[in-house]
Amino acid sequence: MQKSAMKAWWESSYMAGGNAAYIEEIYEAYLENPQDVEPQWRDIFDQLPRLEGVEIETNHSDVRELFKKMAQLGPLGRTSAPATANASDAKQVKVLQLINAYRFRGHEQANLDPLDLWKQERVRDLELSHHELTEQDFDSVFSVGSYAVGKETMPLGELFKSLNRTYCSSIGAEYMHITNTEQKRWLQQRIESVQAKPEFSRDSKISILKGLIAADGMEKYLGSKFPGAKRFSLEGGDALIPMLKSLISHAGVNGAKEVVIGMAHRGRLNVLVNVLGKNPSVLFDEFSGKHDESLSSGDVKYHAGYSSDFATPGGDLHLALAFNPSHLEIVNPVVIGSVRARLDRRQCNDGSTVLPITIHGDSAIAGQGVVQETFNMSQTRGFSVGGTVRIVINNQVGFTTSNKEDTRSTQYCTDIAKMVQAPIFHVNADDPEAVIFVTQLALDYRNKFKRDVMIDLVCYRRHGHNEADTPDATQPLMYKKIKKHPVPRELYAQQLLAENTISQHEIDKLIADYRSALDHGACVVEEWRPMTEHSVDWSPYIGQEWTVPYDASLSVEQIKELGNKVCSYPENVKLQARVAKLYQDRISMISGEKPLDWGCAEILAYASIVEQGSRIRFTGQDSGRGTFFHRHAVIHNQTDASTYMPLQHMSDKQGPIEIYDSVLSEEAVLAFEYGYATAEPGALTIWEAQFGDFANGAQVVIDQFLSSGEQKWGRLCGLTLLLPHGYEGQGPEHSSARLERFLQLCADHNMQVCVPSTPAQVYNMIRRQVVRPMRRPLIVMSPKSLLRHSLAVSSLEELAEGVFHNVIGEIDEIDAKQVKRVVMCSGKVYYDLLEQRRKDEQTDVAIIRIEQLYPFPHVDIEKALADYQHVKDWVWCQEEPQNQGAWYCMQHNFWASIPEGAKLTYAGREASASPAVGYISVHNQQQKTLVENALTINQGTK
């Protein structure tokens, strides 16, 4: 630095004692990334001298040491006291600090609560006195730095008013937690340039008013027509209607072709009618008790989904509101999974063509862990969708709890969004223009930066949790205010009247016209269009049953050709030694030198599916290699850690395949894959649990969506779950996929539960799931020890059959006439029984495998048992405890299968509260005992 420049800097107030801490903070940011600081500071720091003996890192103590030494050197390198501070320069620094304080903490003093119940603590950082400024400085002109008002300087009084208008009015913007400078600068420019209050045209204002009239009119109509009926009214959060319509329209202008919405109960009926264009007469019929005859059990009105097309200035787009159970936040990963499927189908990699919108409750978003899981997935390779617009309908009360000390441990319910550095816009729902401004800002941010963004719509709930509730019993003060508080439509109408934007006559006519439309039961959404824009055809899969014919066979030569391709990889890809041996063995299997093991058959199934042009999506916590080191569909180059997937290099015309090791989540990931599978019927969508037991972390997805979605909502889904299952002495949490839970959920042919025991079976089961035009969930009790079991092998010819055998009869040459006992079983225990029987040279016991437990294969098992009608001693053998596994849930089917007058007994572990024991010695003894019990014929029977 030149001596004169250095002298000028030191003689200014910049390094005065009062500013030291502030300068140190800026300098620390400069050391991290020079682009993160204001240009004028960057210029100064670029010229600072480098002092010998002072190593500068980015920790505070080193920064302090540097400034101490520079202070000792003084402006000319001599030891001297700091120069006298210039008062004007000192205040300039304080002004920049003031601007920074409003950017960081202005939201804490914003006018956000329509009821004025929020009691925010005093924020001294926003007071002039905190920065050693007073009203006497109002006429002084200061540089405003990067404050984006289109001026380089402003009088302090004008600046102070501008900061309050921008950051402390109806919008509280939180974005300074974002570390990316470009994103912060972009947001500052958009917010500060209009002081958070842009001008709206007359047409836009009337459109907003129409939305509020519709929101209010719908609730009033339902309240008078069906008094006391549950509807989870939107009243208080009416701004959601114009907000969503603006968001959808803006998305269409920006090139979106589809919008998928997920929301819980609050305001759902209003959104269905006033945004998606559901015919009000249909809704009224539902309130009157009529129902859709096509659905078995159906669901309540406020869980219903809907689809329509919506006209925007950028063209029509397709809207879909996802069905949602009462487990509020669980729908969010379902929506995002559906969006990912739609993006994949459109070959859109940046999220521009499909927009996810998720609508949350304030207590739910803070309280339910699936929100964190979904945020965590938002920027990962396998689950990103280019950002989600997240809206919180902030009623300030969850069910009956409004005390912040009981609902969360954070300042705002939206603080969870900070984990992914999403900007958060708190907005007063009684200021609909502010709502529309942040809505369009949020979408523009999402589209530009491909990241999540949060809008906190701060409102209230005019009624109780439902319309039959009495809320003042638990919130007396809140509901005193609510009873006196005008509805949003009235407030905005008064504003427009005061502005001379509209007349009272015009307002009255808009209200009357909307009421008349409801009376006629016709669609009330001007933008509604008949559906033509949806991007997938479900018709080939609707109405198909288990018996639908299909041909999944391939010739042995075709399988060999697939095998050679899927075992090939470039020479520059160096495999780890065990993986290289595995691939060498697979080549021997394909050539017929060795029988096929599980991993080889499974990979061949995937190869055959992508070769025919179908898509595969496969996720799980260790799905690329397989938890048990058997799959290795994704090869990791030992030279540079790059990856290579042979399945992606089958042919030029092959279908796409994605295999991702997922985030460490079951609930959100499984919900995401359910959403994906419901939106992409032609794909094989697979989720694999690391251990089958871990699926219970996603039980809500299995209960509320997977098992019941078709019956409740008519939603078909072909999702496949691979759940490693088998008792190998690995303890209670690494043994059982809780087979009994899935069987308990089985009814109305809602899903398939299979326990394949050979490589050929898994190959044909996987192919059947795609080739057969029937889309229902497939639950697979996958093996662990069978992956390398010497008896669990198959031939190429068995794969080529193209048939999954629901039942496999006796395979040894045993004279059926000599059989005195028949043992039925599923899964790994079969091989324990087979080995023990062969070891004992026992010929009077037959062993039958049931490979599909649901739907129970009555016809197939009748054929398999035809030769044993003389046998009176029948056994069901399982590894699981008696109160688990298939015994209790399937016993009626076993009884129906055996000859009349025969006896059926149980061989397995005793009932247990735990899935398995934790001691290997106890496990071995239990296994030995249950095998002996199954094979030992009672003397009386002999």
CA dihedral 826, 738, 874, 823 (to 10 degrees): 30
In total, how many domains does the chain have?
Answer: 5
Report yes or no: 44 and 9 within 8 Å, Cβ to Cβ. yes
The C-alpha atoms of residue 683 and residue 619 are separated, in whole angstroms, by 13
Same domain, 162 and 213: no
Burial of 497 (0-12, 13-18, 19+ CB in 10 A): middle
Tens digits of residue pLDDT in 233-251: 899 999 999 999 999 999 9
What mean pLDDT comes out for the span 454-477?
Answer: 88
The C-alpha atoms of residue 500 and residue 416 are separated, in whole angstroms, by 42
Within a domain: residue 457?
yes
Tell me the pLDDT band of 6, cut-offs 50, 70 and 90: very low
Pairwise pLDDT comparison (233 vs 844), residue with the higher score: 844
Same domain, 377 and 404: yes
Same domain, 560 and 587: yes
pLDDT in the model for residue 537: 84
First to last CA, the chain: 105
The C-alpha atoms of residue 413 and residue 403 are separated, in whole angstroms, by 12
What mean pLDDT comes out for the span 833-861?
Answer: 97
Percent over 90 (pLDDT), the chain? 77
Tell me the pLDDT band of 915, cut-offs 50, 70 and 90: very high
Report yes or no: 626 and 635 within 8 Å, Cβ to Cβ. no
Cis, peptide link before residue 549, omega less than 30° from 0: no
| Full strand arrangement of the beta sheet holding 873-881 | 807-808, 845-850, 821-825, 873-881, 903-909
pLDDT in the model for residue 290: 67
pLDDT in the model for residue 52: 44
The C-alpha atoms of residue 630 and residue 624 are separated, in whole angstroms, by 10
Tell me the pLDDT band of 55, cut-offs 50, 70 and 90: very low
Residue 122 carries which DSSP code?
Answer: P
Tens digits of residue pLDDT in 148-175: 999 999 999 999 999 999 999 999 999 9
Tokens found for residue 740: 């009994």
DSSP 74-104: -TTSS--PPPPPPHHHHHHHHHHHHHHHHHH
pLDDT in the model for residue 225: 83
* Residue tagged 């894959």 (tokens): 673
Average pLDDT taken over every residue of the chain: 90
Q: Residue 846 phi/psi, 5° resolution?
A: -100, 150
What mean pLDDT comes out for the span 918-922?
Answer: 93
The C-alpha atoms of residue 604 and residue 562 are separated, in whole angstroms, by 7
pLDDT in the model for residue 66: 57
Same domain, 728 and 701: yes
What mean pLDDT comes out for the span 459-479?
Answer: 86
In 3D space, the residue among 472, 527, 521 whose CA is nearest the CA of residue 221 turns out to be 521
Report yes or no: 730 and 788 within 8 Å, Cβ to Cβ. no
Is the pLDDT at 53 greater than 70? The verdict is no
Within a domain: residue 178?
no
Same domain, 836 and 778: no
Tell me the pLDDT band of 450, cut-offs 50, 70 and 90: very high
pLDDT in the model for residue 324: 83
Is the pLDDT at 836 greater than 80? The verdict is yes
Is the pLDDT at 344 greater than 70? The verdict is yes
Least confident of 318-327, 425-434, 452-461: 318-327
Tell me the pLDDT band of 472, cut-offs 50, 70 and 90: confident
* Domain end point (choices 494, 529, 564): 529
Burial of 656 (0-12, 13-18, 19+ CB in 10 A): middle
Within a domain: residue 940?
no
The answer for residues whose C-beta is within 8 angstroms of residue 758's C-beta and 6 or more apart is: 792, 793, 794, 798, 808
In 3D space, the residue among 865, 930, 934 whose CA is nearest the CA of residue 894 turns out to be 865
Tell me the pLDDT band of 51, cut-offs 50, 70 and 90: very low
Pairwise pLDDT comparison (60 vs 704), residue with the higher score: 704
Tokens found for residue 135: 């009203």
Same domain, 103 and 142: yes
Residue 124 is part of a domain; what is its CATH number?
1.10.287.1150
Same domain, 151 and 29: no
Same domain, 19 and 101: no
Within a domain: residue 534?
no
What mean pLDDT comes out for the span 884-909?
Answer: 96
Same domain, 499 and 569: no
Burial of 641 (0-12, 13-18, 19+ CB in 10 A): exposed
The pTM of the whole model exceeds 0.85:
yes
Between helix 667-679 and helix 370-377 the angle, nearest 10°, is 60
Pairwise pLDDT comparison (465 vs 323), residue with the higher score: 323
Is the pLDDT at 3 greater than 50? The verdict is no
Residue 806 carries which DSSP code?
Answer: S
Tokens found for residue 734: 């690494």
Least confident of 130-144, 291-305, 723-737, 883-897: 291-305
pLDDT in the model for residue 222: 85
pLDDT in the model for residue 688: 97
The C-alpha atoms of residue 406 and residue 317 are separated, in whole angstroms, by 42
Residue 611 is part of a domain; what is its CATH number?
3.40.50.12470
Report yes or no: 21 and 131 within 8 Å, Cβ to Cβ. no
* Domain end point (choices 26, 45, 73): 73
Residue 368 is part of a domain; what is its CATH number?
3.40.50.970
Radius of gyration of the chain (CA): 34
Same domain, 520 and 591: no
pLDDT in the model for residue 810: 97
Tokens found for residue 677: 């599978």
3-state SS, 299-341, equals CCHHHCCEEEEECCCCCCEEEEECCCCCCHHHHHHHHHHHHHH
Tokens found for residue 126: 């926003």
Reduced to 3 states, what is the DSSP secondary structure of residue 535? coil
In 3D space, the residue among 395, 375, 392, 393 whose CA is nearest the CA of residue 384 turns out to be 375
Tokens found for residue 196: 């958070």
Percent over 70 (pLDDT), the chain? 89
Within a domain: residue 663?
yes
Provide the residue range defining the domain that includes 877.
809-935
Check the CA dihedral 908-910-915-917 and report its sign.
negative
Residue 37 CA neighbour count, 13 Å, CB half: 21
* Domain end point (choices 73, 101, 125): 73
pLDDT in the model for residue 303: 54
Residue 853 is part of a domain; what is its CATH number?
3.40.50.11610
The answer for residues whose C-beta is within 8 angstroms of residue 762's C-beta and 6 or more apart is: 598, 601, 602, 605, 756, 780
Residue 904 carries which DSSP code?
Answer: E
The C-alpha atoms of residue 860 and residue 749 are separated, in whole angstroms, by 17
Largest CA distance in the chain: 112
What mean pLDDT comes out for the span 75-79?
Answer: 37
The C-alpha atoms of residue 208 and residue 187 are separated, in whole angstroms, by 24
pLDDT in the model for residue 118: 86
Same domain, 623 and 683: yes
Check the CA dihedral 35-40-43-46 and report its sign.
negative
Tens digits of residue pLDDT in 654-710: 999 999 999 999 999 999 999 999 999 999 999 999 998 999 999 999 999 999 999
Residue 299 CA neighbour count, 13 Å, CB half: 19
Tell me the pLDDT band of 40, cut-offs 50, 70 and 90: low
Same domain, 370 and 417: yes
3-state SS, 650-698, equals CCCCCCCEEEEECCCCCHHHHHHHHHHHHHCCCCEEEEECCCHHHHHHH
Tell me the pLDDT band of 5, cut-offs 50, 70 and 90: very low
What mean pLDDT comes out for the span 495-510?
Answer: 97
Within a domain: residue 81?
no
Phi-psi region of 74 (alpha: psi -120 to 50; beta: other; left: phi over 0): left
